[in-house]
Amino acid sequence: MSTIHEMALSGLPLNGFEIIDSHSHLGHISHFNNSCCTAEYLLKNMDAMGVSSACISTALAIDVNYKAGNDLMIETITKYPERFHGFLVINPHFPEDIQPEIERCLKFKGVRGIKLHPAGHNCMPDYKNYHLVYEKAQEHKLPMLIHTWGSADLEAIGRLAPLYPDASFIMGHSGAYLRSMEDAIDLANKYDNVYGDLAISLAYEGNVEWFVKEMGSHKVLYGTDMPYFSPTPNFSRVALADISDEEKRNVLGRNIKKLLKL
């Protein structure tokens, strides 16, 4: 039994190494019924598990107002600079503002990546206006967390990754469905700049072990989709997984820390 496994079973927060949630949010979103969506709520959950920091984008930015949502993200990372890393959001239906909004947000310390939600914008990840985002991500060598739901999204990532080798593509939800997860594994193995996250809403027993075995622990990122899902199941899946402590440390923090250039 690993040390991390034993610490987790004790019910105490994990300590002694850095844990970073690569996929979390702030605020209400229209299709989720969740009354606890504040930074303080996230921090309470993070502290209970020993999570050092989290990457956040806002539901407001994804849902209805990207500028106001990005302002809330900036306000939050400014208030809690040691606990949150900001991921800005753009709307591809306002192409003239995409690159200026990216540059505006990147002026703030702690904005370290971009969140794209193609399904929320009724687009595919390789929609023409998204390339304005990928150009900036390539220029600044940024990680991008992209909501992927189904194999068509992953096929698009496969077309994009070789075009922008200095940007990092994080497959949010790793495709979501079992067969799509197989496609996500293939992409992570094919391209150095493609990663999968564990915010897998349709989780199966053994998901963590399977991903680590097939992708390698250096390609798997711990993420929870907090606050829309409780963070504890995904946290426990990693902490109690039948993998080594070194692999758990990679998944829980080392990999995203490298992408964020921390």
> Token match 């739901």: residue?
149
- The rounded percent of the chain whose pLDDT value lies above 90 is 83
Tell me: domain 20-260, CATH 3.40.50.261, correct? Answer: no
Please, what is the average pLDDT of the chain? 93
What's the confidence (pLDDT) of residue 33? Answer: 61
pLDDT class of 31 with cuts at 50, 70, 90: low
CB-count burial class (<10 Å; 0-12, 13-18, 19+) for 222: buried
What's the confidence (pLDDT) of residue 253? Answer: 97
What is the pLDDT averaged over residues 208-219? 97
Whether residue 170 contacts residue 143, with contact meaning beta carbons closer than 8 Å, is answered with yes
Among candidates 235, 156, 53, which has minimal Cα distance to 144? Answer: 156
* DSSP letters spanning 180-222: HHHHHHHHHHH-TTEEEES--SS--TTHHHHHHHHH-GGGEE-
Among candidates 151, 139, 225, which has minimal Cα distance to 184? Answer: 151
1 has pLDDT over 60? no
The three-class DSSP label of residue 123 is coil
26: left (phi over 0), alpha (psi -120 to 50) or beta: beta
What is the pLDDT averaged over residues 188-210? 91
Per-residue pLDDT tens for 146-195? 999 999 999 999 999 999 999 999 999 999 888 899 999 999 999 999 99
- CA–CA–CA angle 179, 151, 133 (5° rounding): 140
> Token match 């970073």: residue?
20
What's the confidence (pLDDT) of residue 129? Answer: 97
Lowest mean pLDDT among 84-88, 126-130, 205-209: 205-209
Per-residue pLDDT tens for 105-122? 999 999 999 999 999 999
Domain ranges of the chain: 20-260
What's the confidence (pLDDT) of residue 172? Answer: 96
Most confident of 29-38, 184-193, 224-233: 184-193
The three-class DSSP label of residue 169 is strand
34 has pLDDT over 70? no
> Token match 């610490």: residue?
7
pLDDT: which is higher, 195 or 10: 195
